[in-house]
Structure 1
Amino acid sequence: MTAHLAKRLAIALATLVLASVVVFAVLEIVPGDPARLMLGMNAGADQVEQLRMQMGLNDPLLLRYLHWAGNMLRLDFGRSYTYSVPVIDLVRERVIVSLPLAAIALILSTVIAIPIGVYSASRHGRMGDTLAMGAAQVGVAVPNFWFALLLVYVFAVWLRWVPAGGFPGWSAGVWPALKALILPAVALALPQAAILARVTRSALVEVLSEDFVRTARAKGLPYRAVLWRHALRNALLPVVTIMGLQFAFLLAGTVIIENVFYLPGLGRLVFQAITQRDLIVVESVVMLLVAAVIIVNLLVDLSYSIVDPRLRRR
């Protein structure tokens, strides 16, 4: 188990270093002068040179990378040129929106997907299976922003149960803040639930054909107990993998949904930084999101030993 843990940590660290090189290189391959790009074509030469010195663009490439990576390790992401505040302050303000949104969406996705996947697998090849997987296929095919617009029309415009957009802040109270996150979370959760339901069904169908399932049934265990206590647990490895990938996607890939619902999250921050040509914010936040994805994937790998105790001996 120790060797497995050390191996996974080494792979995660190497991936993080490689990702940092790629993210840093993106700024270098941008056509033209990054400082000129941020300031606009009408900026004076003195302004451009001042910004180049501020960003360290006159230093050698390797030195700039080492300085940037070292600052990232100290959680010093630099200073936003547009907002004139440290990037870490912007991240703190936005992550308290994106993180709860991703968590709620993942919970909703799991609560919806697991029962549907189990129901479909238990009726493999029958009408219930066909209908459930047909609905899941529709969920996979339909983009989440279309779900978002439909939810806004039904629940915000027509029924007026929840706000159509915006975020009042947690200082306004837990319920008003959660209420503003309900529709975005549902819009994010439905397509992800469709994917998770299909994975759950496929994994469970395969496990139900194993010998230990037939043995458990031959011993007289009820089918429901065999399905939920024995078969489902053995089918959880691919399900947990997809859940980890989904959480990483929900945390890092909410740009469209946050813009549809006008939520001040990390996705919207990246979108605004791109439109405002604030490359310092773009580079820092993208690297932070990449690191979050790598860490989530590492935690998923480590959770395999909890789901399947046989892996602890490897």
Structure 2
Amino acid sequence: MKLLILAGGMSSRMKKNIEGNTNLDPKLIEQANTLPKSMIGLGKDGRPFLDYVLFNAAQAGVKEVILLLNPKDTVSQPYYEKLMQVEKNWGLKINFARQLIPEGREKPLGTTDAIEQALAQFPAWKTSRFITCNGDNLYPIEAFRLLLDEKYPNAMLDWDTDGYTVERVRNCAIVKKDEDGYLVDLIEKPNDEEWVKIVETMPRIGISWNIFAFTGADVMPFLEKTPLHPIRNEKEIPVTVRLFASEKPKSIYAIQISDFIPDLSSKQDIADVMQALNYEI
């Protein structure tokens, strides 16, 4: 019943100037420019976006959380420490880890490095089964419930793409699985040639939203051997998962799911996310 939330990025896309006319509240623009994006106040009560992620996880049965934060983040930890003090933390035990930035770099080393650093700071999790996800996607309760199922030691969610534009789908990692439902490959941001093959050979196209369940002992070797991305110069979890699936076939089960995912990547997403956060927590 453990969850690792990756919220240590620099929020560089969120801090870019918004394009075109916008009716966005200037206060929200100010928050988007100054706060970690998962702490932007949204929804009915202006609660941090991350509150909703944690609430949904708790409703599904998660009991313990690690928030992996940027070392420059001075907002998130005090906020959640206060919630725990007044027992308004949805019954969750919330721990805090930091994704330290290597000397000579301005940005963190990627999502795989984030998981490695969190496990190094909480070694007991290395022998546990845990879910890991992004801090800027609003995963529904059902997503956490599906991954809490102990039937599959290592699993991921395979999201339906009905209603998505081709451009949106191609900007994600395409899930390729075998006849038994186990992951074979993750095709990240397919090029034109790869996309034509996907359309011709896959009757259903599913995508990953970077939420996985891992058994620590199983995934650790692949975290450690993940190479730097040749362009982004970061260690990324889709590459880790590809290695895992390639070297240990039938190890990662891909569970189909159809819920829509509100994604808080840039200022353009804020209005859509506000509409999705229309419930009390």
Per the shorter chain, which TM-score range?
Answer: under 0.3
Report which of the two has the higher share of helix: 1
TM-score when scaled to structure 2?
Answer: 0.25
TM-score when scaled to structure 1?
Answer: 0.23
Report which of the two has the higher share of strand: 2
